[in-house]
Amino acid sequence: MVRFSVFCAALTALLLAEPAHADDNIVTVGMILPMTGQQASTGKQERAGAELYMQQHGDTVAGKKIVLEVKDDTGAADVTKRLAEELIGNDHAKVLMGFGLTPLALATAPVATEAKVPEIVSAAATAMITEKSPYIVRTSFTLPQASAPMAEWAAKNGIKKVVTVVADYGPGIDAEKWFSETFEKNGGSVAEKIRVPLKNPDFAPFLQRVKDDAPDAVFVFVPSGQGAIFMKEFVERGLDKSGIKLIGTGDVTDDDLLADIGDAALGAVTTHHYSAAHDSPENKAFVAAFEKANNGMRPNFMAVGAYDGMALIYQALEKTKGDASGDALLAASVIPMALLGGIFSLWITRTPFSVSAAIGFVALFGIAAMDGILILSYYHLSLESGLSRVNAMLQTCRTQLRPVMMTCIVACVGLLPAAFSSGIGSQVQRPLALVVVGGMLLAPALILLVLPVLVLKFCRAQELPEELPREGAT
Ligand code: DHB
């Protein structure tokens, strides 16, 4: 929830701070995925998930047209970072999404922080990713979330000795740690912890070591897309026949690959946050729609991460809609406030309304609107720096007191002689001067007292939380 607030705040700030040349009504979502290379199946599933959401919900939300810009980083972190910079700099992307592997999400974190652009991690799953930028929000999952329940299940189901085999990088190390610690806490023992290279893994020699250790089960984590090769080698090495049970996180029994894995998957037990077989009407409808839109391809957890990522963007846009127009209305609300002083000074001096007075009102509107914008823009900056709404407004009033007073005093003092002159030609300039002087005498009080109350009551901008959570947010 807190991260959703940050997300909304960042999105609002970006929508308000739009450069003049970009189209105000387009929200470009820069989706960076491995569309080619070892992790290509993740890219294919993620893209299809995001597109299905747009197909089902339309490409317009809260008056903004959503444009999905998919870029292929081939799974290389330096490419991901460059693409993120280009998407923000050249394509004016308001949101970045995707990231098929942990290092790719991490490479983008400083870019998102620097540009204050939300980064939705819809695939990568090392627990600490969300700590790397307050602009990161995750719609995928974490490995501790999947590994600890597996350990509890194993300990309760007669498994006493396990060997772990994990891909040797962030999520694999998370899986190994959370499985081992939970399993040992529940009375089990981990005979050996094996780490396999992420790139082009050959599982055969590692599986031979597992066989030699003769555990009750082997716990495995490999990233999405590698499960079929692992399972094939598991069977080829005869581990299935040797009584070693295969357990792991659901990445190895990836729904996308189950058909390729075939009978080798029989007897394997995995834990995960999503299964295409989940028996709920919502999931059945999702799977049917996904398969229909993608020539029968079965969705896996990556597709769901991207589908949910798009849902997050749509909901955030719904929540922040109207911010810009609301601000414009609030800034304009100072105009009638300034009007009061002008009318009062005409009334008290018994001066009839004239062309000169009308020009005075026009000048008054301009100065008052400028002061209103000063207040609103500083208020948004203070919100972005992490202050609560009330504190942001107090700070705004404190720091903007001087500029608001200066503009009013300059206009007032400059026209004071004309307002009280009685020489030849003074009838022409006096109404104008009276309106501006009267308006400017009253305006600062209204702008600094009434406008802040209106902003706090009606401005829908999301505030950033004062303190961001360091743990647990996904
Ligand atoms: C990650 C990648 C995967 O394909 C997966 O299934 C889990 C985690 C990752 O790199 O974070």
Q: Whose CA is nearest to atom 5 of ligand 1?
A: 223
Domain boundary among 252, 271, 290: 271
Residue 114 within any structural domain of the chain: yes
Using the atom order of ligand 1, give the atom closest to the CA of residue 249: 6
Residue 467 within any structural domain of the chain: no
- Count CA atoms closer than 13 A to 139's CA, side-chain side: 26
CA of 98 to the centre of ligand 1 (A): 11
CA of 157 to the centre of ligand 1 (A): 27
One domain, residues 170 and 246: yes
One domain, residues 311 and 397: no
C-alpha 132/C-alpha 138 separation (Å) is 12
One domain, residues 78 and 181: no
Residue 468 within any structural domain of the chain: no
Which residues are registered as beta bridge partners of 138? 121
One domain, residues 204 and 238: yes
Residue 59 within any structural domain of the chain: yes
Here the tokens at position 403 are: 């500029």
How many domains are contained in the chain?
A: 3
CA of 125 to the centre of ligand 1 (A): 5
For residue 464, what pLDDT is reported? 44
CA of 305 to the centre of ligand 1 (A): 12
One domain, residues 131 and 47: yes
One domain, residues 158 and 218: yes
One domain, residues 286 and 222: no
Q: Whose CA is nearest to atom 11 of ligand 1?
A: 124
One domain, residues 337 and 320: no
- Domain of residue 443, residue span: 333-458
One domain, residues 132 and 148: no
CA of 130 to the centre of ligand 1 (A): 14
One domain, residues 287 and 260: no
Residues with CB under 6 Å of ligand 1 are: 42, 101-102, 124-126, 170-171, 223-224, 251
Using the atom order of ligand 1, give the atom closest to the CA of residue 129: 11
For residue 473, what pLDDT is reported? 37
Using an 8 Å Cβ cutoff, are 112 and 84 in contact? yes
Q: Whose CA is nearest to atom 10 of ligand 1?
A: 101
One domain, residues 131 and 155: no
For residue 422, what pLDDT is reported? 79
Using the atom order of ligand 1, give the atom closest to the CA of residue 124: 11
CB atoms within 10 A of CB 90: 8
Domain boundary among 228, 249, 271: 271
Which residues are registered as beta bridge partners of 167? 196
Residue 158 within any structural domain of the chain: yes
One domain, residues 354 and 382: yes
> For residue 26, how far is the Cα from the chain centroid?
17
Per-residue pLDDT of the chain (474 residues; tens, 9 = 90+): 556 766 766 776 677 665 544 577 899 999 999 999 999 999 999 999 999 999 999 999 988 999 999 999 999 999 999 999 999 999 999 999 999 999 999 999 999 999 989 999 999 999 999 999 988 999 999 999 999 999 999 999 999 999 999 999 999 999 999 999 999 999 999 999 999 999 988 999 999 999 999 999 999 999 999 999 999 999 999 998 999 999 999 999 999 998 889 888 999 999 999 999 999 999 999 999 999 999 999 999 999 999 999 999 999 888 776 344 456 666 777 777 777 888 888 888 888 888 888 888 888 888 887 888 888 888 878 877 767 778 888 888 888 888 888 888 888 888 888 888 877 777 788 888 888 888 888 888 778 888 888 777 766 554 444 433 333 333
Best residue among 108, 224, 254, 272 to mutate for probing ligand 1's pocket (most ligand atoms within 8 Å of CB) is 224
Residue 466 within any structural domain of the chain: no
For residue 22, what pLDDT is reported? 58
Domain of residue 250, CATH code: 3.40.50.2300
Query: Pairing between strand 189-196 and 119-121?
Result: unpaired
Q: What is the pTM of this model?
A: 0.72
Residue 474 within any structural domain of the chain: no
Domain of residue 430, CATH code: 1.20.1640.10
Residue 465 within any structural domain of the chain: no
Cα distances from 225 to residues 196, 234, 303, 375, in angstroms, run: 15, 16, 13, 53
CA of 224 to the centre of ligand 1 (A): 6
